Amino acid sequence: MPLGYFTVAEIRDAESALFARVADGVPMRRAAWGLAAIVARELRARTGAVAGRRVGLLVGSGDNGGDALWAGAFLRRRGVAVDAVLLSPDRAHPAGLAALRAAGGRIVPALGQADLVLDGIVGISGRGPLRPAAAEHVAGIRSPIIAVDLPSGVDADSGAVQGPAVRAALTVTFGARKPGHALAGEWCGGIEVVDIGLELPPPSLAELTDTEVGARWPVPGPRDHKYTLGVTGVVAGSARYRGAAVLAAGGAISSKSGMVRCFGGAAATVVERYPEAIVADDLPDPAAGSLPRIDGWVIGPGMGTSEQARAALVAVLQRDAPTVVDADGLTLLAADSSQLRDRSAPIVMTPHDGEIARLLGEPVGDDRIAAATEASRRYDATVLLKGHATIIASPGSAPLVVRARSSWAATPGTGDILAGMVGALLSARVPPHEAAAMAAHAHARAARIAAGGGPAEGGPISASQLLAAVPAAIRALRSDQ
């Protein structure tokens, strides 16, 4: 099943139902016990021992601070030295504070050297950046931080970070993942979920797993050939941006076995790199009658916004085949979307934040899920909003998210590859919502393979290096089944 992410409102409703059927304090102790077990595991992994190690607590008011205090009490009973800074002493969780003191934990004005620090400053209802006193304590920490439920200063629903915030090595959350865990993954580190007994609705945001993407990827059967696997038409590139056509066509060719037809002035450059591509200088006139078979289109990367480019976009959108619109194609649609009227075949739009701002006529803001959803509604299209956390929104479907887990793909040309990959999956008759998510997932995997790992261990890559890693990424995803 996909990973689910649940909003604060959904979590609060589930918690209310849980509190009604269990004794008072049980959910917090379940959460704290699970948190303490993970902290002990991390201590052993990092230092080789649990007893005799030191853990610091940054404790705010309310239940989040209570989780940290109770976890500190449990750790103290295992021989861990525990120091706690109370950022709001008069509002510290009474039972948790009493438990920590009874176990021998110390209340200190500032944290000294510790093996690990728990961030229990604010919980999922917190809004805005860290307050100055909390920010000062966090700035002085040199130890790895484990966030309790969510890094303080990160918005649970939008992932927005508007000022000082905690950057965690690991986040331990309770009951369910929140959207902020995906949207601000670079602040959260790893994510671990402690089961506290919540009964949850279908998720508001979901993420396909490696296993699901690998299982759904089109695989040639013994009777398949280049036509049954889908023919992708690519309209990309120009005299100035010939490489965009190469990358978009390469994304389609590398994603599956089939045929790729390339149109436009850069088509000759494509065939120099990919002799298997079928190329033509111009799009055939639909009025001419006979048209080459195209099962899905990719249009926009590097083609410019001239009148000729606009005419090409209109010609493609008049054809009854799924279409990916990217880059310059999006700029043309933002200026005039009338050609989308009465169109029955699906559209996948692949904007970055600047392009979706043009499509919507306003800045994206902190809530990227809302922006993608509104663009999807307004244009009646699947919208793949690119970023460190890529959002896929389609009319009638719950949004999907794809976490990059690295930013090495933030380099010119990688979006052209992604557009080609989505187009190849559409040509293979994968539904647009899934095609967009699967392509983005494989694209992110290819970036990590090309870079040699995630942010810590990886290195710079070019778009060409990412493209070369696409087949290996798909093989890796399929091997995870």
Q: What is the secondary structure of 288-351 as a DSSP string?
A: GS-----SEEEE-TT--SSHHHHHHHHHHHTSSS-EEE-THHHHHHHH--GGGTT--S-EEE--
The reported pTM is 0.93
Q: Which of 153, 181, 205 is the last residue of a domain?
A: 205
Residue 224's pLDDT is: 85
Per-residue model confidence as pLDDT tens digits over 88-125: 999 999 999 999 999 999 999 999 999 999 999 998 88
Range of the domain at 42: 3-205
Looking at 160, 186, 205, the residue that finishes a domain is 205
| Beta strands 259-263; 231-235: pairing state | parallel
423: pLDDT strictly greater than 70 = yes
In a shared domain, residues 147 and 287: no
- The kind and range of the H/E element at 473 are helix 463-479
Find how far residue 316's CA is from the centre of its chain.
30
CA distance 294 to 291: 9
At 233, is the secondary structure helix, strand, or coil? strand
User: What's the chain's average pLDDT?
Assistant: 93
* 329, 310: one domain: yes
* Torsion, Cα of 196, 202, 205, 211 (10° steps): 80
pLDDT of residue 456: 61
Where residue 365 falls (left for φ over 0; alpha for ψ -120 to 50; beta otherwise) is left
Question: Residue 7 is part of a domain; what is its CATH number?
Answer: 3.40.50.10260
Identify whether residues 140 and 285 lie together within a single domain.
no
Residues 121 and 191 grouped into a single domain: yes
Percent helix, strand and coil across the chain, each rounded to 5?
45, 15, 40
Whether 336 and 381 map to the same domain: the answer is yes
| Domains held by the chain: number | 2
Residue 460 has pLDDT above 70, yes or no: yes
The type of residue at 423 is: G
Pair 182, 115 in one domain: yes
- Same domain membership, residue 230 and residue 354: yes
**Arithmetic mean of pLDDT, 275-290:** 72
3-state secondary structure of 390: strand
Residues 220 and 143 in one domain: no
Contact 262, 236 (CB under 8 A): yes
CA distances (Å), 314 to each of 297, 329, 337, 445, in order? 12, 10, 10, 34
Token pair for 449: 């393979």
Of the three residues 178, 205, 232, the one that is the final residue of a domain is 205
Model confidence over 374-417: pLDDT tens digits? 999 999 999 999 999 999 999 999 999 999 888 878 888 999 99
- 150, 217: one domain: no
Residues 306 and 200 in one domain: no
CATH at residue 380: 3.40.1190.20
Quick one: 233 and 194 in the same domain? no
